[in-house]
């Protein structure tokens, strides 16, 4: 017989990772070892960081970036899983999502190499010519290896945090937890619902620079959500807002009307990558892409000083309504 909510124990676990914090709220059986669960969750996100961080010189991602073209490199199965997903979504989005934007990220001052734009590095990144990433990177997951067929600088920041949330969910399930909400920045995933039968209520942040405000609430039950936006990290150049997210097709930072995109998916890795793809694609191409892929998504667009919503799936049909940038 299932435990009632009064027989379960509410745990709030959290820790540092990737320059931010992870957190888990869960209702666990009384015999769940909370310190062991905390350790397992911390190990799950640390594994992702150690393998996929562009900031750690010895990460597996940077080993691949430094490897010469045509040389096979042995890699752990986790990063190979993420690379495979990144290549699939890159192909399906026709390059709106592209994991090979590392040189652009660094050139514009958003990466590990520098903290401000560098004109020669930007020119070099823009002038670089290569085949599409899904053709330039070959994966052999059976043998546990990968090789580049052209020079590539990979950056998995648009997908790795979502994958880390999925790994936290795996850890929760291994410890017998059936009711939980795992979060890392704007990426969250629910394990079941709350013991009461109600879903987990999650805030969608209003895309306002310099302040935290709630735009709306989405309910999750065995579902993940991720948001990508231009309002946390950006540059102001000539009165234009340039996002830290790169558009590989233009070889430049994203510059369109999209303030944020929120995507629902069964896996947080997929929600994370598709939110990035739809942000890059812009409102028109992004809406068509989301419809083609059957995605559930919410866009918040900047139009004439107001925020305009459009949504698909659970978020309704586009467009919905608008309000000013102060949330009125």
Residue 186 has pLDDT above 90, yes or no: no
Which pLDDT score, from 0 to 100, does residue 231 have?
Answer: 67
Which pLDDT score, from 0 to 100, does residue 37 have?
Answer: 98
User: Across residues 69-91, what is the average pLDDT?
Assistant: 98
User: Across residues 21-38, what is the average pLDDT?
Assistant: 97
Which pLDDT score, from 0 to 100, does residue 233 have?
Answer: 61
Cα gap 110→236, rounded to integer Å: 13
Residue 297 has pLDDT above 60, yes or no: yes
Could you give the angle at the alpha carbon of 132 between the alpha carbons of 71 and 166, nearest 5°? 80
Which pLDDT score, from 0 to 100, does residue 14 have?
Answer: 97
Q: How confident is the model at residue 214 (pLDDT cuts 50, 70, 90)?
A: confident
244-270 pLDDT, tens digit each: 899 999 988 998 999 999 999 999 999
Q: How confident is the model at residue 309 (pLDDT cuts 50, 70, 90)?
A: very high
How many percent of the chain have pLDDT more than 70? 91
pTM, full prediction: 0.91
Which pLDDT score, from 0 to 100, does residue 1 have?
Answer: 42
How many percent of the chain have pLDDT more than 90? 75
Residue 61 has pLDDT above 50, yes or no: yes
Q: Which residue has the higher pLDDT, 171 or 18?
A: 171
Q: Of 1.10.3980.10, 1.10.287.3510, 3.40.50.2000, 3.40.50.10860, which CATH number belongs to 60-148?
A: 1.10.3980.10
Residue 242 has pLDDT above 80, yes or no: no
Which pLDDT score, from 0 to 100, does residue 327 have?
Answer: 40
* Lowest mean pLDDT across 27-31, 88-92, 183-187: 183-187
What value does the mean pLDDT of the chain take?
A: 90
Residue 206 has pLDDT above 90, yes or no: no
Looking up tokens 């039968």, which residue turns up?
197
Domain extents for the chain? 60-148, 199-328
User: Across residues 130-146, what is the average pLDDT?
Assistant: 96
Q: Which residue has the higher pLDDT, 238 or 297?
A: 297
Residues 102/247, Cβ–Cβ less than 8 Å: no
Which pLDDT score, from 0 to 100, does residue 212 have?
Answer: 74
Which pLDDT score, from 0 to 100, does residue 211 have?
Answer: 72
Q: How confident is the model at residue 326 (pLDDT cuts 50, 70, 90)?
A: very low
| 3-state SS string for the chain | CCCCHHHCEEEEEEEEECCEEEEEEEEECCCCCHHHHHHHHHHHHHHHHHHHCCCCCCCHHHHHHHCCCCCCEECCHHHHHHHHHHHHHHHHCCCCCCCCCHHHHHHCCCCCCCCCCCHHHHHHHHHCCCCCHHHHEEEECCCCEEEECCCCCCCCCCCHHHHHHHHHHHHHHHCCCCCEEEEECCEEEEECCCCCCCCEEEEEECCCCCCCCEEEEEEECCCEEEEEECCCCEEEECCEEEECCEECCCCEECCCCEEEEEEEECCHHHHHHHHHHHHHHCHHHHHHHHHHHCCEEEEEEEECCEEEEEECHHHCCCCCCEEECCCC
Residue 158 has pLDDT above 70, yes or no: yes
Superfamily name and number for 199-328: ApbE-like domains (3.10.520.10)
């Amino acid at each position: 017989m299932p435990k009632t909510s009064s027989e379960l124990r509410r745990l709030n676990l959290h820790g540092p990772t990737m320059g931010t914090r992870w957190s888990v709220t869960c209702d666990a059986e009384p015999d769940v070892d909370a310190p062991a669960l905390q350790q397992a969750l911390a190990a799950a996100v640390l594994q992702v960081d150690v393998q996929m961080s562009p900031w750690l010189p010895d990460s597996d991602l940077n080993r691949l970036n430094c490897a010469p073209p045509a040389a096979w490199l042995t890699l752990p199965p986790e990063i190979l899983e993420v690379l495979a997903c990144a290549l699939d979504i890159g192909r399906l989005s026709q390059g709106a999502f592209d994991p090979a934007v590392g040189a652009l990220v660094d050139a514009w001052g958003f990466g590990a190499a520098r903290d401000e734009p560098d004109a020669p590095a930007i020119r070099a990144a823009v002038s670089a010519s290569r085949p599409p990433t899904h053709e330039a990177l070959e994966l052999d997951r059976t043998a546990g290896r990968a090789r580049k067929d052209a020079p590539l600088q990979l950056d998995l920041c648009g997908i790795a945090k979502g994958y880390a949330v999925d790994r936290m969910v795996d850890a929760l399930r291994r410890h017998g937890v059936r009711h939980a909400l795992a979060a890392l920045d704007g990426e969250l995933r629910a394990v079941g619902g709350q013991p009461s039968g109600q879903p987990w209520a999650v805030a969608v942040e209003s895309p306002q620079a310099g302040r935290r405000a709630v735009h709306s609430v989405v309910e999750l039950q065995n579902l993940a959500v991720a948001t990508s936006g231009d309002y946390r990290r950006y540059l102001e150049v000539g009165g234009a807002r340039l996002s830290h997210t790169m558009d590989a097709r233009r070889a430049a930072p994203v510059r369109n009307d999209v303030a944020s995109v929120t995507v629902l998916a069964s896996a947080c890795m997929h929600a994370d990558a598709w939110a990035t793809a739809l942000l890059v694609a812009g409102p028109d191409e992004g809406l068509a892409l989301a419809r083609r892929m059957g995605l559930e998504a919410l866009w918040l667009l900047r139009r004439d000083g107001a925020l305009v919503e459009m949504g698909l799936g659970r978020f309704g049909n586009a467009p919905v309504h608008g309000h000013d940038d102060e949330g009125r």
